[in-house]
Amino acid sequence: MRVTNNLIYGQSSQAISKANDRYMDINKKISEQTSIVKPSDNPVGTGQVLQYENSSSQLKQYDGNMKMAKSHLEYEEVALDSLNGFLDDARTLFIQAENTANTQDDLNAITEQISKMVDSMADLMNSKSADGSYIFAGTDISSPAFTLRPDGRYDWTGNEGQKFAQISENRKIPINDTGKQLFQDVWTRNNFTATLLAGNVSLSAKVHDEGDFDAFLSDNYSATSGVANNFVLTTTPLGAAADAQAEAQLPPEDGEKVPFYSGPPGEYSLMDSTGNLVASGVYEPNQPLIINGMSFVIKGAPGAAIEVSLNPPKRDNVLNQLKDAIAVLRDKNATSDEKDAALHDAQVSVVNTQASIGEGRSSVGARLNTLSERGDFSSANQLSNIMAQDRVAGLDMGAAATELSMAESALTSSQKLFSRVSNLSLFNKI
């Protein structure tokens, strides 16, 4: 068989090329620190590695969502915490304003401080996050949650939508709470109206115990039947017949002086709109009569008839309630009873708003804890994926270095062999 130069060169070139490919393949594995640089290196392992990489990539996307959600919730938490602090200060000032030793100048100074707090609280209710979106405006992030009307009252102008962040394949978490839920839909102080129907007496009435009255209203108020919210309180001489009300005198005219009564105690009965007895007992004329959290001071002889009407429960934001109280306290013509009622209205609104904020802060804290736990789970999963990838496609650097040295030696040998073989020609001997 004749060995031609073409055959010698072809086989030598093929051997050098194979040795070089092996050398380059090992070198690339070392540089990328993996035993799989192309699917043919390990078809099964390649599929497993891709699964781990996809899982880690998805977890990183969820990590981005969680980072954004955490930022929004932390902004909300700070705003709620600051609001609660202002409400604490306002409540302290209202308690200070209850002191009967205060002059009108003292009340003006107190209300000036509260007025500035109202402005600060309004700013917090219209807080923005780092991206400029209104935190408490629902999904309408470009408009403020509360708007100041020309008459000085604040209106809720956001919407009730919630934004969510996808933090796992099957779980979303709300990243905001609406101002309507936290601040607008807060119950104001429940109250009632007392109207003298008969009897030569003077009457003053107010809520004496908020808890007892709230329970009474909750049990008896009807949103569908106005008549059911009306009760009649009657007073009669002790031991008198039930029909003594028929002999009661007409209420005094405006400006008419009610004669002072210093007689014996009387009886009272509170009847609902259907004639059922709600409460009854003995009372002292001229002394507060406490019934289900309501206080009635009836000055005059027994024989009065009083209509008691439950006022509809109302919701309003604390900003308006504080501004209403400020207006009454600044009015030098307001009576002590009116100022007392304004103070109680404001304090109840503050307490109820703080309760709502407390629930909001608790919810935000729970969601932040969820994000933290989910973040830890994601980090652990990504680490697990990395370890699994290393088990499948990891590279033993020591063995690879030895293999690279062998491949380099094989390549060098192939090159030297080609050089020797290429000189095996008869022409070189002539």
Q: Note the pLDDT tens digit of each residue in 346-364.
A: 999 999 999 999 999 999 9
The Cα 29–Cα 33 span in angstroms is: 5
Q: Which residues of 243-268 are buried (b: 16+ CB within 10 A; e: fewer)?
A: ebbeebeebbeeeeebeebeeeebbb
Coil vs helix vs strand at 306: strand
Helices (H), 33-148: 43-97, 104-125
Residues 317, 138, 346: CA angle, nearest 5 degrees: 10
CB 269 within 8 A of CB 277: yes
pLDDT category, 383, cuts 50, 70, 90? confident
The Cα 204–Cα 206 span in angstroms is: 7
Give me the percent of the chain exceeding a pLDDT of 70: 73
Position 299 pLDDT exceeds 80: yes
Amino acid 230: pLDDT: 96
All residues at 6 or more sequence positions from 370 whose CB lies less than 8 Å from its CB, including other chains: 167, 173
The arithmetic mean of pLDDT across residues 389-411, rounded, is 57
Give the side-chain half-sphere CA count within 13 A for 66. Answer: 23
CB 117 within 8 Å of CB 278: no
Question: Sign of torsion, CA 233 239 245 251?
Answer: negative
Q: Which two tokens stand for residue 275?
A: 């004639």
pLDDT at 292 over 60: yes
- Torsion sign, CA atoms 275, 276, 281, 285: negative
∠ CA 77-83-85, rounded to 5°: 105
Q: What is the per-residue DSSP string for 338-393?
A: HHHHHHHHHHHHHHHHHHHHHHHHHHHHHHHHHHHHHHHHHHHHHHHHHHHHHHHH
Cα–Cα nearest to 136, from 78, 98, 86, 181 = 181
Per the CB < 8 A criterion, the answer to whether 153 and 320 are in contact is yes
**pLDDT band, very low/low/confident/very high, at 418 (cuts 50, 70, 90):** low
Q: What is the structure's pLDDT at 424?
A: 56
Give the type of residue at 154: Y
Q: How far is CA 263 from CA 238, 250, 260, 266, in A?
A: 10, 20, 9, 9
Q: What does the block give as tokens for 204?
A: 């003053």
Structure tokens belonging to residue 297: 């001071």
Please name which of 172, 76, 71, 64 lies closest in space to residue 364, comparing C-alpha atoms: 76
Q: Which architecture, in CATH terms, is 56-186+329-379?
A: Up-down Bundle (1.20)
Backbone angles phi, psi at 9, to 5 degrees: -70, -40
Higher pLDDT pick, 404 / 243: 404
Which run of H or E residues covers position 20? helix 5-32
- Evaluate whether 138 touches 161 at the Cβ level (below 8 Å): yes
SS3 of residue 174 by DSSP? strand
Cβ–Cβ under 8 Å, residues 352 and 187: yes
Question: For residue 133, what are its two tokens?
Answer: 């979106």
Class of residue 14 by CB neighbours under 10 A (exposed 0-12, middle 13-18, buried 19+):
exposed
Where in the chain are the domains? 56-186+329-379, 192-313
**Overall average pLDDT of the 27-45 stretch:** 59
Strand locations in 176-260 (E): 192-198, 202-207, 230-237
* Mean model confidence pLDDT for the chain: 83
pLDDT (tens digit per residue) in 231-280: 999 999 986 544 444 444 555 565 556 566 777 889 999 999 999 999 99
